[in-house]
Structure 1
Amino acid sequence: MRVSRPRFVDDALFYHDEWRTGRYGQFQLNSAFQPIYCVSDLNGPPCGHEGLVRIFTQGDLFSPLDFFAIVPPEDRFFIEWMCRAIHISNFHLVKQPGQLLFVNLDPATYVDVKQAEYEVGFMVERMRELGVNPAEFVCEVIEEQTQDDQVFADVIDCFKSYGIKVAVDDFGVRFSDQKRVARLRPDVVKIDGAWFRELLGTAKGKQQLISTIHGFGDNDIRVIVEGVETQAQLDFVSEVGDCGVQGFLLGRPEGAICY
């Protein structure tokens, strides 16, 4: 798919009502935020939100998986930064004091450290203009393979130098494993929901989950369990320790409506 797009992400953004929105060819990219709760305070406000993208074309929803599959390689970095830009711009619409914003980071898009350093610096400047503290921002490294491990490690160090937190997303799937955790030294590990539910099916699996969660805790790594869909799953996590939880049982992604 070939799309004529501006050079800079800011030139592809516009406002609809109060919501910042991105445009890429025939597609409109909107923010949606899914709440993340702490099991120690399930009746209180969320401790954070994950910024997710809702994609529309001609007023109809379009699958994010299908969208990213047709974005050409030369535009992947542009789209990555567009998604982060709209989430940062819209976060104030859902944010309460002290809450964190989690946004995905695809390691496969990083091949140039200098370009990444420029973009990170620009992003932090924009965050401060919008009243978003970099210390309240968490980059979630998704389970894709890096093109260059050293380049990506340098990019992660750049994020950390601004006080931005780093999370390993979808732990238990593909490249999101103990090696990635050891290499990136994240602040947070997010347990993949499908992997979590699979392990819950056996006594051995439950013990593996307990050991994994406690192991991260012993190394001062915060754990968030994704894909929590039933009360029994939530009860299990609550009994294991002071984790974060995310899933349809606790709240679905909410955001702007396409016009």
Structure 2
Amino acid sequence: MTKSFSLCIALVLTATTVNAETITTRFGSLSINDENMLLFQGKSLTPTIQGNNSLSVLGTYPLKNSDAVLIQDNGGTACPAQLYFVELSKKGVKATSVFGSCSDLVEAKQTGEVVTVTMPGFMGPFEPESEKEKAANSTEIYRYTAGIVTEEKAKVPQKSSENTSGEWHTVIAEPNLVVRSKPAVTGEKLGNVPHGGKIKVIEKTDKTDSIGGRDGVWVKIEWQDTTGYAFDAFLESMDSQDSAGAK
């Protein structure tokens, strides 16, 4: 009877180990146990990271002297998804504070030592419908570098139907916006307008497109001595004061 009972305990422990998700990095392993808690080398982090309904691993990003792991906490009532970066190195492990828009539609991209996280804006269930609609049509951008997450101050509209002719606009594309000879990605490249550059929209075409997860239309633009076409989902209209200063 004692042997049988001991065997049952061993089987339960084995099943728990198998079911736990393990993330292997160059500097040790992270795991998610059956209580939705994130562990490093089998021990909980300080402060603790524990999921509401579950934890998900969205990606592992090798950096020069460390590995960064993007973790998503799923299932909150007011906020369906929250994010953490956990960085592992020879010095140990550390996690960022929670961040994100509460949306679970997450895109992450690594460029050198920087990981950029992009997601739609999100408002909680108790916000006015007008605010929810405004947030749903926006994008939030977070950048992770050197163990720190920074957020873009302005929300970037996914659709730019308000771009009208004769108005000045600021380029919000990273790292630049391509100007082409015709309203299509197959058009010849005429130049690159850097992020933050200012261009003038001459007229809107009837050519719609979807690029980089953004829907918009191609517009004819003027930039320096160049006239060409650009995708308006990567443009942000300037107010009248800025427009006057851009001329």
TM more than 0.5: no
TM-score (norm 2): 0.28
Which has more radius of gyration? 2
Structure (1 or 2) with the greater helix fraction: 1
